[in-house]
Structures are given as C-alpha cells and as structure tokens.
Amino acid sequence: MTDSNNMPGVDGGDAVVSAFNAVGADYLFCSSGSEWAPVWEALARRHRDAQPAPQYLDLTHETVAVGMATGYGLVERRPQGVLLHAAPGLLQGSMAVHGALLAGVPMVVASSESTTYGDAPGHDPGGQWYRNLSIVGGPHGVARPFTKWSNEAASVHTLPTMISRAAELAWRAPAGPAYLNIPLEILLQEWDGREAKPVVTPGSTHSSPEEADAVARMIREAANPVIVTETAGREAGGFEALVAFAEAWDIPVVEPDSAVCANFPRTHPLHAGSDIGPWMDTADLILLVNCRAPFYPPSRRPATAQVVVIDEVPQRPHIAYQVLFADRYLEGDVANTLRQLAKRAKDLDVAAVTARRAEQERRHADEQAAIAAAEARAEQDQGIDPVLVAATLRRLLDAQDAVVVDETITHSRVVRRHLRTEDPDSYFYVQGGLGQGIAVALGVKLAVRERPVVLTVGDGAFAYNPVIPSYDAARAHDLPVLIVIFNNRVYKSMNLNHRRFYPEGAAAETGEWLGTDLHRLPRLARFAEPFGMHTETVDTPDALAPALERALKAVAEGTTAVVDVLVTR
C-alpha cells in the first residue's frame, strides 16, 4: 500500500471506490442495499471533485447485476465490481454467480453484514440486521461453494488490498468470481487514505518445449486425431490459435453441446459438429483443448485413443466430478500452447493427412447437405419450425458482426447448427441455471455497443428471467438488444425427461403431464410494451422475416425489440 493524495476523514466507502478504481474495473454493477450508502457518498464526492471512479450502474435485481457483469466480462475478460445486498441479496444472485464461475468470468462480488447490531458506539447500522439480514457464519460462508475464493474484510485498513487480492484471484486461471464480505461498520469506519496498488495483467505460464515436442510426436504418429473444445475461444487469442493449430495439422474440431462460447468457425471445413460419438471408437488421439467435461456419461472411455489435455487448469476445482482420462497434460496458456504446437507441424505423413482430410471433407459436405435439407423442410412447414427461425436470423445477421447470446434448451442445438457463427466472441451460451439470459445479453451489449446483440431464449427460460428489472436496465442504460423467444408453450425438456423415464407410465396413459404446460402464460412480448420497446408476436412463416427485419431496425435505432415466435416444436 502507498500513501495517496486523499484527505483523511473519508470512510470505507471511499476505500471501496478507490480499490475498484485501482483494480481497473470499468463498472460497479449494483443491486442496491442499505449498506452501500458509504459507497454512494464516495461516488458523489468523486463526481463533484472530478476524481476518477468506475461507472456506477443502478440495477433493480441481483441476477441482472451479476448477469450483466458476466456478459461484460465474457467480452472484456477483466474483473468488474458487483455489489449486492447482505446475505439475502447474495442468495438471490447466487445462481448467476455460479453461472459466472462455470463460464470462467472474473469479477469481485461484495455484500455486507453487521458486526455490532447497534451495541457499539458510532453509527447505528439499523435493526434490520439484527432481525432479518444476518446469517450464521456470515455471507462469506454462504458464498464459498459457488465462488473461487470467499473471505471477509475485517478492517478498513486492509479493505483496499483485500479487494485487489480478490480481483487478482478472480482474474487468474481458472478465472471466476471472488467474494468479499464487507461489514457495514467497516464501510462507515474512517479511512486514512492509503490505496491499493493497481492490479496488473496476469502473467502467462507455459509447458516446456520438451513437453510440447512429445505431444507433437503423438500428433505426427496419429492417423485419426480429433480436437474437442468447450472454451478455447474464451481465452484471449484462443479462437485464432485453435484455427491455426487445426489447419497446420489438418485435424477436425468438435464443439460439444457443452461449448460455452464460439471456439472455431462453424462454417470451416474442419468443423466437425457437436458430437464426439463418431470418434469414440475410431480416433487414436483425442486432444481436449479447454474442455471440462468431454465424455458423457463420465465413464464412457474412448476405445483406443490416447487423450492429451491442453488447458491452463485441467482439473477444475469447482467441478464436483470431472473425468478426462488423460494420458498427457500440456498445462499453461492455451493460446500460446496451440501456437507452439502449430509451429511443430512438420514432417507429416502425407498419406495419413490426405486420408483424414478426405474423410473430413466428406463429413463436412454431408453436414452442409443435411443443414440445407433441414432448412428446406422448415420452409415447407405450415407452422414456424425452430430451424426456420435460426436460419432466418442467420441470413438477416449476415455481415453485421452480431453477437448471439443463447439461453434456449431444447432448441440450443438448432440455434448453434443453423446460425453457424464464424468469428471470435460471436456466440455465448448462458451457464448455470435459467433466468440470466437477458442480463448477460445486456452485459455483452455494454461491452460492444457498436455491434448488434441478439438473445435467443425459450419461453420457459424467459419466464425465469427477472424481466421487468432487465427491461429497466436496458432502457435506463441505453442497451438495445433483440430478444427472440422460441415459444413452444411448454417446458419441453421436463416433458421429454418424464416421457423418457416413464414411457408407459400413468401420465402417458392419461395425458396428465404435470410441470410442463405454459399455454396459460399471456403473450410474452407484451411485457416490453410499458417500457416503450418494439414488440412483435409471430405465428405464421411468411410473417417471420419481416418481423425480425423490423425488430433489427428498431434495435439499430436504439430500442430493444422483443419478438415472440410461436414455434411448432
């Protein structure tokens, strides 16, 4: 810590703002709570005195605050600040915090508690802490299972460096949210003005040349290798490095259904779809590149393939059960590792490379034909097939440098297959529980204001979202996005599981399918009308493209648009 020019007499609120400023946070995403009055006062003071501070976003729901920080962090890859209210606010936002952990998004989440309950001299924290807000073990105990690191700031004098430590921990691999409990009494305590040192970009780690040489030999000797990746594109430069690596060695790339982001151009001849199944019995080498959970069930071991894991932190400590079947690890910065392996693509077996290239070209041609056939069938459908929605979006978004955030469930494969994204940071799949999609899309838009952002979401997932607070955030902070609802009027995934577990059960006999019917919901687009947003409900194929065109035009003009598409399945 170093002395600053701040005058003594300010309190812990200014220590918080000063620390997040030093950390390099662009934003404080805040779902308001009474403990944050010292922070608000510090911000008001800094604004008055033209002092630097992160931009403050006043949000009305915890999932919106965390979700927006997640969307922003997916693009910017730097820790931001998230302020929630006490233990209840942390609990309310915990699903989204866990989603950020799964997505590998760095952020510092803070909330508060009382340590004196009014029985100490000084400011009265308020009776609500004594009666309702406190939780046994403190909120940092609650946060421990769904964060990378969780602790309490026990002194105003250590508070700035506790925040910077949390940011550094959040930023380093595996990136994810860190939590800090900042008691209200600490926020109100006089601060002497000593600041935290600015946080620097994490250094990189590398596998040794000898380790890379050994893996290069394995690839050179393999006749039928395959790459499987979930999050290579999450790393800075990872998307481009994976393309260069795959092309150098002529290896097909599988993005399983668990892929978190765009990792490889889906139009590329080496893109091999989302199913690792065809390689389980035939591949002699499987390269898992930032792939947390490639095999399902976990015991589904490849028949003969050796497995090489390329990942900075292969064994993720936050995953309850993880099985990789690794024969060799290359641990370190993934993009750098891939670049090093690409340079080693020499003295290849021409016959083996030619054979696997021809086989992949056949697979790719078959997939393109299957996509075209599915889209042709969808165009002939009397209703709106989900394939038609995804294909229409692809055509309308062509050359617009759009970003798609996806929170569909039963339609997620359709969305990925027919949108066919090609660029880094062009696709993100919402992680963890449902109900975060709108907020994540708004956070992405905050990071890329010049690019169109589209949320694809099922009607069931849409119903889980805090819709009113999300729309308020979109309007208040000028974040226009396009929301496309794939509305089949049913919780389809739940219904499919019921049918799968009990194909000849009582529900199948009587037609009493509980927990699945959404026909009772009103038209979903109407919730946006009080906010002055563009709304459309579409139930015929010929109305789909014009409706989406109007919606995209509204978004380009600065208005969020919601298109509720009544799909056939």
Q: What are the pLDDT digits (tens) for 167-212?
A: 999 999 999 999 999 999 999 999 998 888 888 889 888 899 999 9
- Under the banding of pLDDT at 50, 70 and 90, the label for residue 2 is very low
Query: Whole-angstrom Cα distance, residue 490 to residue 519?
Result: 7
**Edge-to-edge strand list for the sheet holding 177-181:** 55-59, 27-31, 80-83, 107-111, 177-181, 149-152
pLDDT cut 90: percent of the chain above it:
91
| DSSP, res 481 | -
* CB 164, CB 94: distance < 8 Å: no
Q: Is residue 4 predicted with pLDDT exceeding 80? A: no
State mean pLDDT over 218-235: 96
Cα–Cα distances in angstroms (integers) from residue 567 to residues 370, 386, 488, 495, in the given order: 21, 6, 5, 17
pLDDT cut 70: percent of the chain above it:
98
Q: Which residues contact 92 (CB under 8 A, 6 or more apart)?
A: 31, 61, 62, 63, 84
Residue-wise pLDDT tens digits, 414-451: 999 999 999 999 999 999 999 999 999 999 999 999 99
Cα–Cα distances in angstroms (integers) from residue 167 to residues 161, 163, 171, 313, in the given order: 10, 6, 6, 18
- Burial of residue 137 (number of CB atoms within 10 Å: 0-12, 13-18, 19+): exposed
* CB 139, CB 181: distance < 8 Å: yes
Residue-wise pLDDT tens digits, 108-145: 999 999 999 999 988 899 989 999 999 999 999 999 99
**Alpha-carbon torsion, ordered 514, 520, 523, 529, to 10 deg:** -110
466 or 515: which leads in pLDDT: 466
Region of 250 on the Ramachandran plot (φ > 0 left; ψ -120 to 50 alpha; else beta)? left
How many CA atoms, within 13 angstroms, populate the side-chain half-sphere of residue 83? 30
- 3-state DSSP call for residue 545? helix
Residue-wise pLDDT tens digits, 228-266: 999 999 999 999 999 999 999 999 999 999 999 999 999
Q: How many CB atoms lie within 10 A of CB 189?
A: 19
Residue-wise pLDDT tens digits, 400-409: 999 999 999 9
Q: Which residues contact 227 (CB under 8 A, 6 or more apart)?
A: 242, 245, 246, 251, 252, 253, 254, 287, 289
Residue-wise pLDDT tens digits, 335-373: 999 999 999 999 999 999 999 999 999 999 999 999 999
Query: Whole-angstrom Cα distance, residue 117 to residue 57?
Result: 29
* CB 204, CB 333: distance < 8 Å: yes
Residue-wise pLDDT tens digits, 474-488: 999 999 999 999 999
Cα–Cα distances in angstroms (integers) from residue 29 to residues 43, 65, 391, 407, 468, in the given order: 13, 5, 35, 22, 17
Least trusted range by pLDDT, from 385-399, 511-525, 542-556: 511-525
Q: Which residues contact 395 (CB under 8 A, 6 or more apart)?
A: 545
Out of 3.10.129.10, 3.40.50.970, 3.30.420.40, 3.40.50.12160, select the CATH number for domain 12-188: 3.40.50.970
Q: Is residue 1 predicted with pLDDT exceeding 70? A: no
Q: Where are the domains of the chain?
A: 12-188, 209-364, 381-566
* The two structure tokens encoding residue 61: 């729901």
pLDDT at residue 200, rounded to an integer = 87
Q: Is residue 226 predicted with pLDDT exceeding 50? A: yes
- Please report the DSSP string for 81-118 in residue order: EEE--HHHHHHHHHHHHHHHHHHT--EEEEE---SSTT
Domains 209-364 and 381-566 share a fold: yes
Query: Whole-angstrom Cα distance, residue 536 to residue 560?
Result: 12
Residue-wise pLDDT tens digits, 286-319: 999 999 999 999 999 999 999 999 999 999 999 9
pLDDT at residue 519, rounded to an integer = 87
Q: Is residue 8 predicted with pLDDT exceeding 80? A: no
Q: How many CB atoms lie within 10 A of CB 108?
A: 31
- Under the banding of pLDDT at 50, 70 and 90, the label for residue 491 is confident
**Mean of pLDDT over the chain:** 95
Superfamily classification of domain 381-566: Thiamin diphosphate (ThDP)-binding fold, Pyr/PP domains (3.40.50.970)
Query: Whole-angstrom Cα distance, residue 547 to residue 342?
Result: 45
Cα–Cα distances in angstroms (integers) from residue 417 to residues 218, 330, 390, 436, in the given order: 31, 30, 8, 22
Q: Is residue 6 predicted with pLDDT exceeding 50? A: no
Residue-wise pLDDT tens digits, 48-105: 999 999 999 999 999 999 999 999 999 999 999 999 999 999 999 999 999 999 999 9
pLDDT at residue 9, rounded to an integer = 63
* The two structure tokens encoding residue 389: 């929605």
- Please report the DSSP string for 114-163 in residue order: -SSTT-SSS----HHIIIII--TT-HHHHHGGGSSEEEE---TTTHHHHH
Query: Whole-angstrom Cα distance, residue 68 to residue 453?
Result: 13
Query: Whole-angstrom Cα distance, residue 137 to residue 417?
Result: 47
* CATH no. of 209-364: 3.40.50.1220
**Strand 285-289 versus strand 149-152 pairing type:** unpaired
Query: Whole-angstrom Cα distance, residue 374 to residue 153?
Result: 56
- Under the banding of pLDDT at 50, 70 and 90, the label for residue 5 is very low
Q: Is residue 543 predicted with pLDDT exceeding 90? A: yes
